């Protein structure tokens, strides 16, 4: 999975072959086919940040907790912005509203992926809710940026988006949540 992600990132979907992924992972191409199926399926698996979220989470949790959200959002947007990833993501987002499989994929991405892993890192009982809210927010950003083309979201840089959205994702994942209306939350 790491080899696939690296190669997709370096060369894009079209520029990568299963054989190259296998070579970099030091396994036989047949093995990759066996476990992941087609290149498209491998790509989907790579996009899904599945069980092996080993790369994302340490990169985000490493360093000070403050700025965690920004690092995460910058990473995610930069990843999504890659033309091939973008194409796939757009397809997934598009089909999520009508296709059961794509919907399940998005659901899992939101509540079982790195977001949950990060939220769980603070040992909170509401980790799933935190991940779901943060994930929904990022999903909305993806829709706005890639599918509906809402300005200025569509043309903001990953850094700009990270600066605005990152602190909110951080709050959702590891920060203090609002706990109700009339509590005079100290400034």
Which residue in 81, 94, 120, 121 binds a second copy (CB under 8 A)?
94
Q: Please choose, from the candidates 135, 144, 148, the residue with its C-alpha nearest in 3D space to the C-alpha of residue 106.
A: 135
Secondary structure class of 65 (helix, strand, coil)? coil
- Binds a second copy by CB under 8 A, chosen from 53, 143, 173, 174: 143
Of 19-27, 39-47, 53-61, 62-70, which part binds a second copy (CB under 8 A)?
A: 62-70
Q: Which two tokens stand for residue 24?
A: 């970099």
Q: What is the longest distance spanned by two Cα atoms in the chain? A: 62
**Residue length, the chain?**
187
Question: Which residues 6+ apart lie within 8 Å of 177 measured at CB?
Answer: 126, 130, 171
Please state the closest distance from residue 113 (CB atom) to a second copy, in A. 12
| Interaction of residue 167 with a second copy, rule CB under 8 A | yes
* 50 near a second copy, judged by CB under 8 A: no
In whole angstroms, how close is the CB of 14 to a second copy at the nearest point? 24
Distance CA 54, CA 57 (A): 6
Q: Answer yes or no whether residue 112 interacts with a second copy by CB under 8 A.
A: no
Contact between 2 and a second copy by CB under 8 A: the answer reads no
d(CA 185, CA 8): 46
59 binds a second copy (CB under 8 A): no
d(C-alpha 130, C-alpha 9), whole Å: 28
Site for a second copy contains 62 (CB under 8 A): no
Query: How many alpha carbons fall within 13 Å on the CB side of residue 154?
Result: 8
Residue 9 in contact with a second copy, rule: CB under 8 A: no
Q: Identify whether the C-beta of residue 81 lies closer than 8 Å to the C-beta of residue 36.
A: no
Q: Which listed residue (67, 78, 82, 121) binds a second copy by CB under 8 A?
A: 67
124 interacts with a second copy by CB under 8 A: no
CB nearer a second copy, residue 62 or residue 180:
180
Asked if 79 and 85 count as a contact pair (C-beta separation under 8 A), the reply is yes
| Residues in touch with a second copy (CB under 8 A) | 66-67, 70, 93-94, 96-98, 103, 106-107, 110-111, 128-129, 132-133, 135-141, 143-144, 147-153, 156, 159-160, 162-168, 171-172, 177-183, 185
């Amino acid at each position: 999975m790491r080899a696939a992600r690296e190669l997709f990132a370096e060369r894009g979907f079209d520029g990568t072959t299963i054989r190259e992924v296998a070579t970099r992972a030091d396994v036989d191409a047949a093995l990759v086919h066996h476990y992941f199926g087609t290149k498209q399926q491998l790509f989907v698996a790579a996009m899904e940040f599945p069980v092996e979220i080993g790369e994302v989470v340490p990169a985000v949790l490493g360093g000070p907790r403050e700025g965690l959200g920004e690092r995460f959002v910058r990473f995610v947007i930069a990843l999504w912005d890659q033309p091939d990833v973008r194409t796939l993501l757009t397809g997934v987002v598009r089909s999520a509203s009508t296709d059961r499989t794509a919907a399940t994929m998005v659901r899992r991405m939101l509540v079982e992926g790195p977001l949950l892993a990060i939220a769980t890192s603070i040992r909170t009982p509401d980790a799933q809710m935190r991940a779901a809210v943060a994930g929904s927010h990022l999903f909305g950003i993806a829709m706005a940026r890639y599918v509906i083309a809402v300005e200025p979201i569509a043309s903001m840089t990953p850094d700009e988006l990270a600066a605005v959205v990152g602190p909110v994702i951080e709050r959702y994942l590891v920060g203090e949540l609002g706990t109700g209306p009339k509590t005079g939350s100290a400034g």
